[in-house]
Amino acid sequence: MQISPDEITLFQFGWLHINATIFVTWIIMALLVVGSWLVTRNLQSEGPMSRWQNLLEVLVGAIAAQIREVGSRASGPYLPFIGTLFIFIAVSNVLSVVPGYVPPTSSLSTTAALAISVFLAVPVFGISQQGLRRYAGQYLQPTFFMLPFNVIGEISRTLALAVRLYGNIMSGTIIVAILLGIAPLFFPIVMQVLGLLTGLIQAYIFAILAMVYIASASRTHENIEGKGE
Amino acid sequence: MIIDWYTVLFQIINFLVLVFLLRRFLYGPIVRAMEERERKIVAREEEAEARTRESEEEARAYRQKTAELEERDRELLDQARSEAEKEGQRLLKETRNRVEETRQRWQREVAREKEVFLRELRSRMGRQACLIARRCLKDLADAELETMIWNVFLRKLKALSPEESGPLQEAFSREKQVLLSSSFEPAAKRLEETAASLEEIFAQKVQLAHQKDAGLVCGVELEVGGYRVAWSVEDYLEDVEKEILAHLEQSEKEALPDAEAG
């Protein structure tokens, strides 16, 4: 029994080998991009609009609303990053109802990649929002001696982010596989429904946490200013 | 190994590519469409609000105008009514005046006709009276009366004052002709007497012609070259008639102002 889809190699060109994780990710990317393109190539800003446009507007609107709720500021710069995190993870997890599908999020490599992206995005957004000095000074709060702990906290939460998603999705897949062996009828379906719910919740948690980290890196600025006054 | 760093790198790249592509194909267009719709809705709402305001303004203006028009209508109507009333009063007054005038004219006309009739009646009565007198005298005329008439004439002739007889003499010396008219055929004796009287007046011989004139009522007339000496009841009657008519005229003049005033 294979635990990770990384170990399933589909193509091999010299040193370049494409495993199931990468391949499925590409398929999901293709689905998302082509679907978005099909819907958004003729958008209506007036009068009746297509259901797909309505769906995407609801989705994007909800994500933007969540970002505003957490970051309490304009959603514009964060929307593509946070939105893509949510949509990619949600689609990856929901597609697990397809038989034979192995979600790329059940690979620790994928979740680690996403977590590293968040880990990198935090300083990028932080610096772009409040400048390098202020952002760096954040690690010296409340005193200089807190620097190691702040850095460790940064890394550990990234690790937690990766492992949380990986554990939840991987466990769901494995539980279904095990249950199929024990009780092949009905029960796996219930677990799969549960898995869908878990998958969506995990996508939400991942995106929200990423936003919280980014917002905390950007919001300090306001706090410092508030104290200064 | 649980984490395959080769795959991690691939997935990071995949994720960043996906972020870029979705930003290009999903978020950008959708957000733009939503913003545009919001903008359009806001614009439409503003436009609707502006239109509502405008229409309210217009409605208010129209209401005001209508009220003004009604007010003016009412004023005009009132004015027209009062004018019509005034005009009616005026016409009524005028009509009354005209009726009054017509009535007065009729009254005057009637009065005048009455006057004319009365005058006519009076003059006719006067004339009739004279006519009766004439007829009476004519009927009464006989030799006795004629004699008396002739005597009277002769007396008058003899009693002519020098102022009266002067022109007579002048006329005689010019014409040498004396015409004697009478309403009856005089006796020759009378003619002689008359001729003698005339010779006395003119102090010379007189050629006397005679003619009968029925127009003279119980009278005698002597004419010399347009100059005339006469005595006749007609004269008296004429005098009487003249007097009567003068009297009537006088009374008419007195009566007429009363009728006009009435």
Chain B residue numbers touching A11 (CB-CB < 8 A): none
Give the angle subtended at the CA of A122 by the CAs of A119 and A125, to the nearest 5°: 145
Residues of B in Cβ contact (< 8 Å) with A61: 34
| pLDDT grade for A122, boundaries at 50, 70 and 90 | confident
Domain ranges in chain B?
Answer: 143-233
Q: Chain B residue closest to A55 (CA)?
A: B30
- Mean pLDDT over A87-97 rounds to 90
Of A104-118, A162-176, A197-211, B2-16, the poorest mean pLDDT is in A162-176
With a CB cutoff of 8 Å and minimum separation 6, the contacts of A209 are A118, A157, A161
First CA to last CA across chain B, in angstroms? 151
Predicted confidence band at B140 (pLDDT cuts at 50, 70, 90)? confident
Nearest CA of chain B to the CA of A68: how many Å? 14
pLDDT at B58 over 90: yes
pLDDT band at A228 (very low <50, low <70, confident <90, very high): very low
Between the alpha carbon of residue B246 and those of residues A80, B233, B239, B253, the distances in Å are: 142, 20, 10, 11
Burial of residue A127 (CB within 10 Å: 0-12, 13-18, 19+) is middle
Q: What is the pLDDT of residue A229?
A: 36
Of A173 and B215, the one with more pLDDT: A173
Residues of chain B with Cβ-Cβ distance to A32 below 8 Å are 18, 21-22, 26
Q: Say if residue B168's pLDDT is above 80.
A: no
**Is residue A131 over pLDDT 60?**
yes
Residues A152-156: contacts with CB under 8 Å, at least 24 apart: A154/A119, A154/A122, A155/A119
Number of domains in chain A: 1
Q: What is the widest separation between alpha-carbon atoms in chain B?
A: 211
Helix or strand (DSSP H, E) at B32: helix B28-140
DSSP run (H or E) holding B209: strand B208-212
Predicted ipTM of the assembly: 0.85
Helix or strand (DSSP H, E) at B212 = strand B208-212
Instruction: Say how far apart CA B71 and CA B65 lie, in whole Å.
Output: 10
Is the CB of residue B25 less than 8 Å away from at least one CB of chain A? yes
**The pLDDT of residue A225:** 46
Residue with tokens 């006329």, as numbered in its chain: B171
Residues 6+ positions from A81 with CB-CB distance below 8 Å: A121, A210, A214, B19
- Alpha-carbon distance of A172 to A167, in angstroms, equals 8
Share of chain A above pLDDT 70, in %: 93
Burial class (CB in 10 A: 0-12, 13-18, 19+), B261: exposed
**C-beta of residue A123 within 8 angstroms of C-beta of residue A22:** no
Number of Cα atoms under 13 Å in the Cβ half of residue A215: 18
Mean pLDDT within B55-67 = 94
- Average the pLDDT over each of A17-31, A174-188, A214-228, B90-104 and give the range with the smallest value: A214-228
Report, as an integer, the average pLDDT of A1-21. 77
- pLDDT value of position B218: 67
More confident residue, B109 or A1: B109
Partner A contacted by B23 (CB < 8 A):
yes
User: Lowest mean pLDDT: which of B13-17, B139-143, B236-240, B254-258?
Assistant: B254-258
Of A44, A45, A56, the CB nearest to B26: A56
On the question of pLDDT at B134 being above 80, the answer is no
Structure tokens at A207: 């995106």
Q: Report residue B124's pLDDT band, with 50, 70 and 90 as the boundaries.
A: confident
Q: What is the pLDDT of residues A141-183, one digit of tens each?
A: 778 888 888 889 888 988 888 888 888 888 877 887 788 788 8
Q: How far apart are CA A57 and CA B239, in angstroms?
A: 142
Average pLDDT over residues B212-236: 74
Question: Which range (A12-21, A41-50, A153-162) has the least confidence?
Answer: A41-50
Q: Is the model's pLDDT at B30 over the cut of 80? A: yes
Of how many residues is chain B composed? 262
Overall average pLDDT of the B50-58 stretch: 93
Residue A185 DSSP class: S
* Whether the predicted model's global pTM rises above the 0.80 cut: no
Two tokens at B124?
């006719």
Q: Quote the pLDDT of residue A221.
A: 45
Architecture of the domain delimited by B143-233: 2-Layer Sandwich (3.30)
Q: Is a pLDDT exceeding 80 seen at residue A70?
A: yes
Taking 60 as the threshold, does the pLDDT of residue B67 lie above it?
yes
- B37 touching A (Cβ < 8 Å): yes
Contact status, residue A207 vs residue A90, Cβ threshold 8 Å: no
pLDDT band at B126 (very low <50, low <70, confident <90, very high): low
CA–CA distance, B60 with B53 (Å, rounded to integer): 10
pLDDT recorded at residue B55: 93
Instruction: Identify whether the C-beta of residue B173 lies closer than 8 Å to the C-beta of residue B198.
Output: no
Task: Give A110's contacts in chain B (Cβ within 8 Å).
Answer: 7-8, 11
Distance from CA of A59 to the nearest CA of B (A): 10
Q: B9 to chain A: nearest residue by CA?
A: A113
Q: With 50 as the cut, is the pLDDT of residue B2 above it?
A: yes
Q: What is the pLDDT of residues B82-118, one digit of tens each?
A: 999 999 999 999 999 999 999 998 888 888 888 788 7
The domain in which residue A201 lies consists of 5-228
Q: Measured between alpha carbons, how far is B262 from B258 in angstroms, rounded to an integer?
A: 6
**Residue B185 vs residues B86, B175, B181: alpha-carbon distances, Å:** 85, 24, 9
Confidence of residue A224 (pLDDT cuts 50, 70, 90): very low
